[in-house]
Structure 1
Amino acid sequence: MKADAVRGHLDGLLLAVLEQGPLHGYAIITAVRERSGGVLDLRTGTIYPALNRLERVGLLGSDWDAVGERRRRAYHLTDAGRASLAEERSSWREFTAAIGSVLDPAGHVRPAT
């Protein structure tokens, strides 16, 4: 899948995989890959700046874990992150419904207003 396809949705993807509990960077990459059936393969150069930004704005928190002699940062959702994820999901549903009604007008039933 083209890298541009993820643009604009990266925050939602990261928040969604952290909903179940804390993960370190490589585990986040793995979770996105597995949950997407291998279609989305994020690079470390993509996710770490996003994780740092999400932490800076208060949607994520982090703690250092020790694995043997090695330390790694595990990220977790904050309450603000959970609220943001709910908004991301709502926006995604609206977006996909709108795109679906354009790309497949015969197969897409619009809700009555």
Structure 2
Amino acid sequence: MGNQMTEMLKGTLEGIVLAILARRSAYGYEITAWLRDRGFSDIAEGTIYALLVRVEQRGFVDVAKVPSEKGPPRKVYSLNAKGREQLAEFWGTWSVLTERIEQLRDNDNRQDEGA
């Protein structure tokens, strides 16, 4: 993944993780694996764990400790009502941002055609 992609992803990763948790509860490694399976191969597991700590501290998720077959119990994260509100705000912001970016691209394309 290029540096520009990495920087853009940093700004949206919280919303992406909340969207994943809106589908189902998951633990950190599951989220990382899900992202990697979908082409986000450069995301470090530590990045996801740090983000999960932040969303927990901000009250967007509920956490349950679930026994693991290997090792200590896993922390399973579930999106709660406050997290769903945050996710809705993220999608609203995303829609506005992508619309404005598309307008910029369309204007650039029209200028290129007229030149």
TM-score (norm 2): 0.82
Whole-angstrom distance in 1 between the partners of 2:26 and 2:106: 38
Whole-angstrom distance in 2 between the partners of 1:78 and 1:41: 28
For residue 90 of structure 1, what is the amino acid of its counterpart?
Answer: G
Q: Does 1:6 align with 2:5?
A: no
Say how many residue pairs are matched: 106
Name the structure 2 match of 1:28. 31
Within a 5 Å distance, the mapping from 1:1-113 to structure 2 comes to 1=1, 2-34=5-37, 37-39=38-40, 41-70=42-71, 71-105=73-107
Once the two structures are superposed, what CA deviation does each residue of 1:16-73 show, in whole Å capped at 9, x if it has no partner?
0000121010111122233xx3145421121111110110110011111112242211
SS at match of 1:86: helix
Stretches of structure 1 lacking an aligned partner (at least 5 in a row): 108-113
For residue 82 of structure 1, what is the amino acid of its counterpart?
Answer: R
> What is the root-mean-square deviation in Å for CA atoms of aligned residues?
1.9
Q: Is contact 1:61-1:78 (8 Å) kept?
A: yes
Q: Is contact 1:29-1:41 (8 Å) kept?
A: no
Determine which structure has the larger strand proportion and give its number. Answer: 1
Determine which structure has the larger helix proportion and give its number. Answer: 2
Distance 1:53 1:92, change over 3 A: same
For residue 57 of structure 1, what is the amino acid of its counterpart?
Answer: R
Percent identity of the aligned residues?
Answer: 31
Give runs of ≥4 in structure 1 deviating > 4 Å: none
For residue 79 of structure 2, what is the amino acid of its counterpart?
Answer: L
Stretches of structure 2 lacking an aligned partner (at least 5 in a row): 110-115
Q: CA deviation at 1:102?
A: 0.4
Whole-angstrom distance in 2 between the partners of 1:46 and 1:105: 36
